[in-house]
């Protein structure tokens, strides 16, 4: 099941992390999600507010115990993308509480030498995913149509 399909059908996964992602076909970006233990249906009438997921991949709204929807999956996908591009998480700490504080208060940084090799489209993709304002965070539909993914499918390198 893909993220966009899930969100179009009002399903939120709530635990996207590397262990729950399978790549069926890298050339066509056929990526499947597994482990739906925390997944649930959502709509404008049922506000979700449970604190679920793995700390490194939790968005600010879950850490702050605010209501949320499918935007939490986008954040988690952004964290995974960030890690794949530079080799470390965007928000971290020595304890779970430190990680939560970093998620809530630290600015997203892309100024290390690893980011010098990353395309502007890739950086834009990550920034759209990791927008701390859940109402301004990209949707799965917007991300599928993002220039970085379109270029990747057309044959250029994901990091270019």
> Which active-site residues does the annotation give?
15
Tokens standing for 38? 């925390």
* Contacts of residue 64, Cβ cutoff 8 Å, sequence gap at least 6: 104
For tokens 């506000």, the residue is: 47
β-strands 30-33, 21-25: how paired?
Answer: antiparallel
For tokens 């179009």, the residue is: 8
């Amino acid at each position: 099941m893909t993220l966009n399909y899930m969100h179009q059908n009002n399903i939120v996964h709530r635990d996207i992390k590397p262990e729950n992602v399978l790549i069926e076909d890298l050339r066509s970006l056929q990526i499947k999600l597994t482990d739906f233990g925390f997944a649930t249906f959502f709509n404008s009438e049922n506000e979700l507010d449970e604190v679920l997921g793995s700390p490194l991949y939790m968005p600010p709204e879950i850490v702050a115990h605010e209501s949320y929807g499918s935007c939490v999956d986008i954040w988690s996908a952004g964290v995974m993308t960030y890690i794949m591009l530079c080799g470390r998480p965007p928000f971290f700490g020595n304890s779970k509480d430190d990680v939560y504080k970093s998620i809530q208060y630290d600015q997203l940084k892309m100024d290390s030498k690893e980011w010098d090799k990353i395309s502007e489209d890739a950086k834009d993709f990550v920034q759209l995913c990791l927008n701390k304002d859940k109402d301004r965070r990209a949707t799965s539909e917007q991300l599928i149509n993002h220039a970085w993914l379109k270029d990747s499918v057309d044959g250029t390198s994901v990091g270019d």
